[in-house]
Structure 1
Amino acid sequence: MFKVYPGQRTGGIEADMMAANELNAHAFLQSSSKGLCQNLVVLVGGFETKTGEQWLAFRSDGKYSAADYAKLTSEKISKNHSAGESSWNRFETEQILKRRRYFVIKLFQGAMSGLAYMHDHDRLHQSLGPSSVILNTIVEKDAAYLVPRLRDLSFSVDISFQNLEEDPGTFSEGLWRRAAAAGAFTPMEKRAFGIADDVYEAGLLLAYLAFVTFCEANVMDSLSLGFWKALFDLIFKRQESIV
């Protein structure tokens, strides 16, 4: 499985920096003495073409993402409803929902395991979403064999204390501005803020999976990502006021 970044002529220097950041993040995580994490995609190599394109090669562990699974599932629900199809067997309907719940839970648990591994190794993901979780199967009956893996580490941030004290990082300026606005200035405070920011994105992922996979496609189309962010902001603010 390949991922390509355009050369500087078309993508600018930022494309090269993103490719280098993703390459370095995978190289660091895969060099851990704890071994490879099964919930992260595995980088097997990379090369640059004569035109300056940066190619990264990953082990092929699935072609569908969590976004693909959610989209196909909601479209299937819509198709069945529009065709007037419904099972007369209540037990069968309950089994379908039970399998779907189990699949979604295992999907999210796998994504969180990958994220926890990154945090344990002083790395933030910073672009976690349904498209950044690759699946080896989208068949709900095969949920026992499901292994979700995180990908898209081009915006990953090093949150080791040494790095926080010496180098703010190329792609972390916006993160640290938000951290400063929230009152996080010391390395420990910034680290905690960064981890919380990743967990916030994980919460959006959970909301997406919990709603989209159980609703018709047209129902969720009207609700933008901004809606979910506003909802989560309201929830977190209420929790902070309670604490």
Structure 2
Amino acid sequence: MSSSVLVALVPIVLWTVACGVLVARLYSRRGDGRLEHDQFLTLVAIVSLAAAPWVSLIVYLTGDRQTVLGGVINVVVAAAVWLAALRARKSRLQTGSVRESQGSFRQKSALLMLCTLALTYIAYALLTWRAPVLIIPLFFGSALLVAIVAGVGHAVIALAHAPSSELDEAEDERDRDAERAGSRVAYLVLAFGIWVVPVVALLQWPALVVTNLAFLFIVLAQIAKYAAVLRYYRHGGVW
């Protein structure tokens, strides 16, 4: 182990100990034997900050060059969680009122998926149109990007949403009606695609183009579904 690593370990250990003390003090202040929502989020932020220099050190030791990418990611996550904690604390300390977010969690989820799918696959369509040879890598890359953005986006929405108890609530009749309305619209798009794709295949277009067209209708069906769900939540109907 180089001397520079040994020197870096000293502030890292001191930083970790300081974060541990903060965690212990915050945990000791819990009321009624349990942590409030904002206290739990603060703990998560502190733990993420405590791990940041260790992640950077590990990346430095295992990589070919010095980088702080891992630590930066931890700091960004900690900042986002800390902001959510501040909002949760402000809501908890408000007397005589309970803050509620505009729109339900499922409505925000539908909006997130609509924007993510639309923007990602618009970029996918433009790139594959200009460079057809990139269809396969862009296909898997776009799918991975959607999964990452959806996961992180839902986590951020869940942290910032109020009241947090809504996250654990089961679907009610309105949620089921919105889901059914979205599914009906998606089925219409897929039904149209079932007729279009075979016609294009009969015209002897390249196999990758036909496959890409079939994939396009699947994505369009999902986009139409989330758009219909949003419209149902806002207007009580699709048409």
TM over 0.5, yes or no?
no
TM-score (normalised: structure 2): 0.26
Of Structure 1 and Structure 2, the greater helix share is in 2
Q: Whose Rg is larger?
A: 2
Which has a greater percent of strand? 1
TM-score by length of 1: 0.25
Using CA pairs below 8 Å that are at least 6 residues apart, which structure has the higher relative contact order?
Answer: 1
